Amino acid sequence: MTFRWAMLAPVLTITGVAVGFPLGYALYLSLTDYRLTSRGAPDFVGLDNYFFVLTDPRMWNAFSNTAIYVIVAVALQTVLGLAIALALQKQKWARDLTRAMLLAPMFITPIAVGLTFRFLLNDQLGAIPAALRTIGISYDFFGPSNALVTLAFIDVWQWTPFMVLLLLAGLESIPRQPLEAARVDGASAWYTFRRVVLPLLTPVLTVAILLRSLDALKVFEYVYATTRGGPGTATETIQYFTYQTGIQFFRLGEASAVAFVLLAIVMTLIVILFRRLQRSAAR
Predicted local confidence at residue 42, as pLDDT: 84
pLDDT bucket at 46, cuts 50 / 70 / 90: confident
- Residue 75 CB partners (closer than 8 Å, separation 6+): none
Predicted local confidence at residue 282, as pLDDT: 66
Superfamily of segment(s) 64-232: MetI-like (1.10.3720.10)
Mean pLDDT of 139-163: 92
pTM: 0.88
- Reduced to 3 states, what is the DSSP secondary structure of residue 62? helix
Mean pLDDT of 8-18: 87
pLDDT bucket at 130, cuts 50 / 70 / 90: very high
Bigger pLDDT: 147 or 5?
Answer: 147
| Residue range 193-203, pLDDT digits in tens | 888 888 888 88
Mind giving me the DSSP string for 121-158? S-TTT-HHHHHHHHTT----TTSTTTHHHHHHHHHHHH
Cα–Cα distances (Å) from 57 to 48, 53, 233, 240, in that order, read 16, 8, 11, 15
Predicted local confidence at residue 1, as pLDDT: 66
CA–CA separation, 263 and 241 (whole Å) = 15
Q: Reply yes or no on whether the pLDDT at 273 is more than 80.
A: no
Q: Reply yes or no on whether the pLDDT at 283 is more than 70.
A: no
